[in-house]
Structure 1
Amino acid sequence: MNTTLQPAQTLIDAESAWSQVMARDPQATIFYAVLTTGVFCRPACTSRRPLRENVRFFISPSDAQAAGFRPCLRCKPQAARSNALERVRKHLEANLDRRVPLDELGRIAGTSPFTVQRMFKQAMGASPSQYQRALRAGSLRSELKSGASVTDAIYNAGFNSSSRAYEADPLGMTPAKFAAGGRGEHIGYATAASPFGWMIVGATDRGLCWLALAESEAAAEQTLRDEFPAAEVHPDASLVEMVGAALDSVREGRDLSQTLTSKGALDLRGTVFQLRVWQALRDIPRGQTRSYSQLAADLGDANATRAVARACATNRVAILVPCHRVVGASGSLTGYRWGVERKRQLLDSERG
């Protein structure tokens, strides 16, 4: 196992943490691991106290597991963290009409504001404030698509004023324009031939909203028009750099997000669950794959395999959110929004 001091461990006061272990403090938020057993526990664990020199401290269960330790079967440290996360999540969902401060979430989780922020983002793939924004955005999309007026949709989604909804910019365009299929929105795009077919990127003045693959240039352009049928779309030569960056990310492993976000905001529009899936996809190392069931388990819900598959199928930004890295349980490539053969080519290129 890896016993090298991890960066997160430097944030822990070792003497204070050891005192919590000795006192079996039930309010302690750190975790300790024992080198001689390879197990990590909560400080309140009733197991025999280890020798101090054999103990290492961690902020989260995932940090301890990354260092090679396994969870204690007696105190179940992962379950303790899951319960705290569930309390925080429910509180955020019950208070969508206001910003919930971190110190309030810390009291609910029984931990510090810093720890609850880090714990939540690690598990959910988004900070508490981002999670709330995503919830409101998802509700706003549903309201608008169901035919509600813009004003009713904004308030029903949890925004306490129309100005807050427009400032939050949860759709990548104004609510009224989203409801009208992008009517009045100007979307620039660029296309280019690639080894994986024709690639297209689309962006508003707020940021990237589309990255797709198709058989021909005309088909690539049509994908954008189908997504935003009422928008005004037009070629934009300045976006060609994005196409090149997307190709480089596959061929050479360059960080595409750095190039894209330097041109404007990245707009990953989806439900909270979709955002979590898309974040998990971005965490899969280049050239590797995960099954839909593995991804569901990683997200804490082994029964969500179909929901994970749907989130992959609705991904709007190919390559940047690498849904091509998800395969069937048998290792088969299964479906891919832009074609199974293209999926094979992308994986072969990453592995090559």
Structure 2
Amino acid sequence: MSATIDPDTAWDAFTRRDRAFDGRFVVAVHSTHIYCKPSCAARRPRRENVTFLSDAAAARAAGYRACRRCLPDSVARDRQAVIAAATLLAGDAPPPLTALAAAVGYAPHHFHRLFHRLTGITPAAYARTCRADRVLAALRDAAGVTDAIYAAGYAAPSRFYADAARLGMTPQAAAVGGAGETLHWMRLVTPLGPLLLAATARGWCRFAFDEDRDELHAAFPAATLLPGARAWRTHAEALIAQAAAVPVDGSLPRALRRTAFRTLLHQNATPIG
């Protein structure tokens, strides 16, 4: 049994068939000598007939065999495929879904559902966040916006300008350190660690883990920085709660989950007003 999950929590997840717990433990059934995912669709045994073990290897070592209905041994393979895909999506030229799925050994539609189930977002959304992360640096280093578009890995200006809305200012203003902009910022607790949030009158311009005012100033040295007012903080807290409510596989690497979390923040962001 995983040290991070107590039996009552495990039983509750098992009775609810909660996919978010797949991979965090397996359910060994004494009466049938099989082990299952927490989300297995089979009828639930009596509680006294089950044991919660840390993983499939522990279950096999204890003499249990894998359930043929939920295929618990596939969990590790699925997770590794998502991790490998995330690495490809973070590259300068993220592959389209068909090529991405082929690279990790899955059919496209199945892998799209799998990636979304484990991360809470689509592969395309993950790639957009990774690419948008490069925009600010590209704007500072390039001779102009057009050069920055291609330096950041965009194939066309239209997608760049759609993602540039995340800057909360024009690309031209971002290129010169946020000159003329006022950034309201705050630092809040999230399930994945402290997160800095900053916004202009146009909208949110930065979601960054483990950053503080100094890092924000380094990113936008020409902007005016002000602590977020209560209304801004309330809006930010609601945004974080909404993203935190999306099920994500807790055994995925922390950096991957943080990127997914920031993607959800961008997807759910609304005008602050």
TM-score, normalised relative to structure 2: 0.50
CA RMSD of aligned residues (A): 5.2
Amino acid at match of 1:89: A
Partner of 1:72: 56
Cα shift readout 1:193-244 (whole Å, capped 9, x = no counterpart): xxxxxxx985224423479xxxxxxxx99997665333367899xx53224x
1:180 Cα deviation from its structure 2 partner? 0.6
Q: How far apart, CA to CA, are the structure 2 residues paired with 1:85 and 1:210? A: 26
Whether 1:156 aligns to 2:151 is yes
Checking the alignment, whether the CA contact within 8 Å between 1:96 and 1:132 is kept in structure 2 is: no
- Is residue 256 from structure 1 mapped to residue 246 from structure 2 by the alignment? no
2:200 is equivalent to residue 208 of structure 1: no
Match of 2:17 in 1: 6
Cα deviation per residue 1:59-115 (whole Å; 9 max; x = unaligned)?
Answer: 69xxxxxx94422227965542243224423543467377x34x6655554556665
Which runs of 5 or more structure 2 residues have no equivalent in the other structure? 1-6, 41-50, 61-65, 67-72, 187-195, 259-264, 266-273
State the Cα distance separating 1:298 from its structure 2 match: 5.3
2:80 and 2:197 mapped to 1: Cα distance? 41
Contact 2:185 2:225 (C-alpha < 8 Å) held by counterparts: no
Letter in 1 for 2:170: T
Q: Which residue of 2 aligns with 1:315?
A: none
Q: Give 3-state SS (helix, strand or coil) of 1:35's partner.
A: strand
Closer/same/farther in 2, CA of residues 189 and 161 from structure 1, 3 Å limit? same
Cα offsets for 1:153-208 (capped at 9, x unmatched): 21121112223211122433333221110124x436499xxxxxxxx985224423
The question of 1:173 aligning with 2:169 is answered: yes
Contact residue 181 and residue 229 of structure 1 kept, 8 A: yes
1:81 corresponds to: 78
Query: What is aligned with 1:133?
Result: 128
Per the alignment, residue 231 of structure 1 pairs with: 223
- Do the aligned residues in 2 keep the contact of 1:85 with 1:120 (CA within 8 Å)? yes
Unmatched 5+ residue regions in structure 1? 10-29, 38-49, 61-66, 192-199, 212-219, 247-254, 262-278, 284-296, 305-310, 312-319, 321-352
CA distance in 2, matches of 1:164, 1:137: 10
Q: Summarize the Cα distance change of 1:181–1:167 in structure 2 as closer, same or farther, 3 Å threshold.
A: same
Q: Does 1:35 align with 2:28?
A: yes
96 and 68 in structure 1: CA distance in 2 versus 1, 3 angstrom threshold: farther
Taking a change above 3 Å as real, the CA distance of residues 105 and 59 of structure 1, as seen in their structure-2 partners, is: farther
- Shift, 1:260, TM fit: 9.3
Query: What is the rounded CA distance, in whole Å, between the counterparts of 2:87 and 2:213 in structure 1?
Result: 41
Correspondent of 2:137 among 135, 142, 146: 142
Sequence identity (%): 26
In the alignment, which residue of structure 1 is the partner of 2:189? none
Report the count of equivalent residues.
203
Answer 1 or 2: higher relative contact order, Cα 8 Å, separation at least 6.
Answer: 2
**Residue 92 (structure 1) aligns with:** 89
